[in-house]
Amino acid sequence: MHINLLLMDSKNSLKKTDFSLTDVISIYDFSKKDILAVLKRAEEIDSMTPMQKSKLLENKIVASMFFEPSTRTRLSFETAIQALGGKVIGFAEAGITSAKKGETFSDTIKVMSNYADLLVMRHPLSGTARLAAEVSLKPILNGGDGSNQHPTQTLLDLYTIKKFVGKLDNLKIGFVGDLKYGRTVHSLATALTHFNATQYYISPESLKMPKHITEEVQEKSKVYETEDIEKFIPEVDVLYMTRIQKERFPDEIEYNKVKNAYILTKAMLVNAKKEMKVMHPLPRVNEISTDVDDTPHAIYFQQTAAGIPVREALLDLLSKVKK
């Protein structure tokens, strides 16, 4: 399954990349080389002119299959496809597909893989992306399978860190808020073990990082845990904020106890390193006070923008794969 790709760069000379995957399903499938190959390609594409970009998926048809509505992810994928000159077919909700007539997911994928050159998908059930990769004749790009994986989010987080902090190696990163249920946080924490990151888990006791993730990360990296949001602010290069969701709590009293304890304000950043960056997968509710937005620390809006070059890079890399 592992192959080396020959890519045409902007000067039309052939060059080899280290991207070895035939589908993008789970961040666990990525080696450090794979991650770096995606980030490098994203940088290259980001610096291309619109005309150069629009040749990359020329004459390619990409299926955008959203069995579950997700406006942000879908539109960022479809923007990327259009910008690369590809044509999009697909659907934005399962209600209009044959799934409603009782067709199995596997059959839908088999049929669609006859039509398109590359399949982007999101599905409310976990494991669907892996199954799709098994039955599809064409590469699968996972845009989220249930509560399991959302690898493009992790890659855009890494791209953002590399771009705005200037490095991925030996990073000090604090994860704040709901570390128990946050899929984004789990994937990023795992991916960062390739880069010798020191990780700080900052959350209320009831929303602590799951033990299996902490143990996995600890095998390769240093981990510190605390309930105090301010304790590690002066230490870290990145503070990765997450939303604490009310529905995760058994009762409102429990929720009220912690909800205001994990709000980041401008005043709390006084002792932060000058270059420290604050990230958030968005949407935010109130966990980052709006007075942080105007500080040089805030990069969460640039973070969402990174979704485009990263998805473009993945589309480009996968469009050259032969399964």
Partner 1 sequence: MNKEEMIKKLKVRVTPIGNGTAIDHINPGMGLKIVEVLGMDEKNGAAIALNTESKRMKEKRKDLILMEDRFLTENELNKIKLLARNATVNTIKNYKIEKKEKLDLPKKAEGILKCINPICITNHEELKTKFSIKKEPVKAKCFYCETSMDKEEIKKHIL
Asked whether position 105 contacts partner 1 by CB under 8 A, the answer is yes
Spatial neighbors of 291 by CB under 8 A, at least 6 apart, are 265, 266
Residues 163 to 222: which contact partner 1 by CB under 8 A? 212
Specify the stretch interacting with partner 1 by CB under 8 A; choose among 86-94, 101-109, 231-239, 278-286: 101-109
What is d(CA 117, CA 251) in angstroms, rounded to the nearest whole number? Answer: 48
Q: What amino acid occupies position 301?
A: F
Mapping DSSP to helix (H, G, I), strand (E, B) and coil, where does residue 5 land?
Answer: strand
What is d(CA 288, CA 266) in angstroms, rounded to the nearest whole number? Answer: 9
Asked if 212 is an active-site residue, the reply is no
Asked if 122 is an active-site residue, the reply is yes
Catalytic residue among 60, 122, 259, 280: 122
Cα angle, residue 91 at apex, residues 86 and 97 outer, rounded to 5°: 135
Taking the complex as a whole, the smallest distance from the CB of residue 49 to partner 1 amounts, in Å, to 40
In sequence order, what DSSP letters do the residues of 204-256 get, joined into one string? -GGGPPPHHHHHHHHTTS-EEEES-TTTTTTT-SEEEE----GGGSSSHHHHH
Asked whether position 127 contacts partner 1 by CB under 8 A, the answer is yes
Taking the complex as a whole, the smallest distance from the CB of residue 196 to partner 1 amounts, in Å, to 24
Nearer of residues 111 and 267 to partner 1, judged by Cβ: 111
Catalytic residue among 33, 72, 167, 257: 72
Residues 29 to 48: which contact partner 1 by CB under 8 A? none
Catalytic residue among 150, 162, 172, 297: 150
Asked if 150 is an active-site residue, the reply is yes
Asked if 248 is an active-site residue, the reply is no
Nearer of residues 87 and 130 to partner 1, judged by Cβ: 130
In sequence order, what DSSP letters do the residues of 139-171 get, joined into one string? -EEEEEETTTB-HHHHHHHHHHHHHHHS--TT-
Q: Please say whether the beta carbons of 251 and 184 come within 8 A.
A: no
Residues 130 to 159: which contact partner 1 by CB under 8 A? 130-131, 145-149
Q: How many residues of this chain bind partner 1 (CB under 8 A)? A: 19
Taking the complex as a whole, the smallest distance from the CB of residue 157 to partner 1 amounts, in Å, to 19
Asked if 101 is an active-site residue, the reply is yes
Catalytic annotation, residues: 72-73, 101, 122, 150
Residues that bind partner 1 (CB under 8 A): 26, 28, 104-106, 123-128, 130-131, 145-149, 212
